[in-house]
Amino acid sequence: MGPETQYAPLVTKRDEAMSQEIKNIALTDLVLWTENPRDPIDPKATDQQVVRRAVVDAGSKWNLKKLAKEMGSYYDLSELPTVVYHGKTPIVYDGNRRIVLGKIKHKLAEVEDFDIDIPEFPTQIPCNVCSKDIALQNVFRKHADTGSWLPLERDIFVDKHMKHGKSLFLLLDESTGIISSNEHMNQRFVKEEIFRDDIVEKLGLAFDGNMLLSKHGAAETLSILEDLSQKIKSKTISTRSNRGKVLEVLDPSNQKIIDQNRKKKAREVHLDSVSTGEEDSTKTTESQRRSRRTNSNKNQIFGGHLYLQIGPVSNLYRDICDLYKFYTENKNHLSDAFPSLIRMALRLLCETAAKECKQDLGNYTNSRFAAAKATMDQNEKTTLSNQNVTASSIVQLLQTGAHNYTASSDVNQTLAVSLIVGRILNISHGKEEASK
């Protein structure tokens, strides 16, 4: 079923639908749309910030080099950007990638290390100027079912801009981060054949409005979802393998959880209360409800779960969580120096995030340290103080892992470092920031 039949158009009046005109607008006046579903950014972001994001392209969503090559030697005037005037400001709803190239071509935005041959660009761009409703319909028609948007992007657009409500796929991601934090989960097959109503119900999950309900405890719920994610990532479940089977391929321990809790009533569950690698999956729902473990961050890597934008930073973060889980489960058999490996991994994580932000390690951490610390409660701040984790020491503490394994083997200090690193990552790469 196509988008035109699946969703009722926002524009219904013929006279309004025809209220479009072709208008030449100066490239200098055109403003890039911050809510572009391709890669949304802070609504207050400037054109410079949007261009920088497009050039860095951490999530491989812009592909400016490929677009420039496809455009050839000159800009095709027949490919009209869709523009909506917000007051006196012309916002580009469709055609942002082309306009980004034009702004770079005419030095309207500063970029570094941009080795792309950009076609010739006019300074006056013919645009389809229309109402916001028409623009949204045009964007949806061009991108929703063409493969240029992933399923989650499509569902966010439908909810936010077309007011058709949240899909089950979107509700699951908002409650768990399972899709946006795992690139392999954001595919049509997963949405249509795995995260279906009937299968989600069999997993013991449900929704009351936007609230996630589960027949299991928080740790048990997380274990099931992460197991499912791994099965999809490894292609244990795919369009070619075990198609139609979900519960059957889960680890026996998770199958047991689902079976044991099958007759329980689903209750509100908060996965952000679960300690990565530390949670006892045998705890009952009732005991978890009584205690949210608000002060248990000292034993959690990153202070708990992070929900990061899809890309290398998110992948490294999850790998470090797995490394820490391995350590907690096997530390009696590992050397005392093993935590230094986690410290080294934290440095790699921060350096990767810094590179995506076009900063060095010091500038990346120091410019966000104060804001990150401000989001902490007093217990967390005390943890930083006790382990001498400050704005002036953070870089040295990260570098110590690579140069002095004995000095970086203190697991408590490493956890304290991860605590502030997690808050810094939330600022620079958080999912909430991307979905605004």
pLDDT in tens, 113-127: 788 899 999 999 999
- Asked, for residue 143, whether it belongs to a domain, the answer is no
The pLDDT assigned to 15 comes to: 52
pLDDT band at 29 (very low <50, low <70, confident <90, very high): very high
- Does pLDDT of 235 surpass 60? yes
> Are 325 and 308 members of one domain?
yes
> Are 273 and 311 members of one domain?
no
- Asked, for residue 161, whether it belongs to a domain, the answer is no
> Are 430 and 340 members of one domain?
yes
The pLDDT assigned to 282 comes to: 36
The Cα-based distances of 304 to 133, 279, 294, 422, 428 in angstroms read: 40, 11, 10, 8, 17
Average pLDDT along the chain: 84
The pLDDT assigned to 402 comes to: 54
pLDDT in tens, 297-339: 446 899 888 889 989 999 999 999 999 999 888 888 888 888 8
CA atoms within 13 A on the CB side of 59: 26
- Does pLDDT of 206 surpass 80? yes
What is the number of domains present in the chain?
Answer: 3
pLDDT in tens, 401-433: 555 555 567 888 899 999 999 999 999 998 754
- The whole domain housing 320 covers 301-434
- Does pLDDT of 208 surpass 80? yes
> Are 252 and 315 members of one domain?
no
pLDDT in tens, 166-184: 999 999 998 888 888 788 9
- Would you say 34 and 50 are in contact if contact means Cβ atoms under 8 Å apart? yes
> Are 275 and 310 members of one domain?
no
* Average pLDDT rounded to a whole number, residues 329-357: 90
- Asked, for residue 87, whether it belongs to a domain, the answer is yes
- Asked, for residue 93, whether it belongs to a domain, the answer is yes
> Are 66 and 170 members of one domain?
no
What is the DSSP-derived secondary structure letter of residue 289?
H
pLDDT in tens, 256-304: 999 999 999 999 988 765 544 433 333 333 333 333 333 334 468 998 8
> Which of 108-117, 190-199, 302-311 comes out lowest in average pLDDT?
108-117
Nearest to 67 by CA among 143, 119, 122, 135: 119
- Does pLDDT of 18 surpass 70? no
Nearest to 58 by CA among 323, 320, 430, 432: 430
Nearest to 192 by CA among 227, 244, 229, 258: 244
Nearest to 356 by CA among 428, 436, 404, 282: 428
